[in-house]
Structure 1
Amino acid sequence: MEAELCKKKMKGRAWGWLCGFANSGHGGNPLVVEARALRDSLRLAWDKGYKWIEGEVDNLELVAAVEGEGWDSFVPEIREIKSLMARQWQVSLRGINREANRAADFIAKASFTHTGFRVLLRPCYDLEVLVLRDAIGAC
């Protein structure tokens, strides 16, 4: 059985690590898998008390679905994302190139052997370097 991982990272304004997570999912449609990851990252940010979120999403179809109409009835996760974004906080999303999301890919690959939802409070050295490189746009 093949499993896809939902992955996101949260960076501070000074490029520091706030937290990250890995969640082994059930695979399926890439839009739904990415929507679950975005939903879970927003839930985690809310639970941690963050009030200003600038989300970077490497799936442009997901950004369009969240900003548009009509997807809510087909993808329940989109409805949940919109509900989370409507809370008393500032959330903005912007599409980025997949290549600019190396830290999230690292988390997915490194966490492949684990199951369930795991919050990553401290990055290992290799991940910390990737977060910094992603933040400054280095290749």
Structure 2
Amino acid sequence: MVLAWDQGYKQIACDIDCEELVTILDRTDQDLVLHHPQVLVLKEIMTLMARDWRVTVNWVHRDGNAAADWLAKYGHSLLDPGVHVIRQPENELQLLLLKDSLVVS
């Protein structure tokens, strides 16, 4: 979300395969957030979502989110932490993006 904000986007959609997270973010139930083990991360996400833009959060089945799984594993394999922008996806990622776009949710 930080990258999208910094790039000037005013409307984004986040597809997430964690149903619990989508529920928490949709309800904005502070009591639920305060007692969650990842309270600091959730507060940061909610602060980002409260900015002057439109963020929609959608639950997608894990089968329809293979590209995100690939990106997470790729990110963990990098020696340099931080933001990495992929301007030209590798062939494997391109195929996963195509597959994900064909999955009916």
1:34 alignment partner in structure 2? none
TM-score (norm 1): 0.62
| Aligned residue number for residue 136 of structure 1 | 102
In 2 relative to 1, CA 84–111 (structure 1 residues): closer, same or farther, beyond 3 Å? closer
Q: Unpaired runs of 5+ in structure 1?
A: 1-41
Q: Which one of the candidate residues 11, 16, 29 is aligned to 1:57?
A: 16
1:86 offset after TM fit, Å? 1.4
1:79 paired residue number: 43
Do the aligned residues in 2 keep the contact of 1:71 with 1:78 (CA within 8 Å)?
Answer: no
Higher share of residues assigned helix: 2
- What is the match of residue 122 of structure 1? 88
What is the distance in 2 between the residues matched to 1:73 and 1:119? 32
Report sequence identity in percent. 35
C-alpha displacement at 1:120, in angstroms? 2.0
Larger CA Rg, structure 1 vs 2: 2
SS at match of 1:103: helix
Partners of 1:51 and 1:90 within 8 A in 2: yes
* Bigger strand fraction: 1
Tell me how far apart the structure 2 counterparts of residues 76 and 112 of structure 1 sit (CA, whole Å): 21
**Runs of at least 4 residues of structure 1 off by over 6 A?**
none
Match of 2:4 in 1: 45
Count residues in correspondence: 97
- Cα 1:111–1:86, aligned 2, differ >3 Å: closer, same or farther? closer
| Equivalent position amino acid for 1:62 in 2 | L
CA distance in 2, matches of 1:108, 1:57: 12
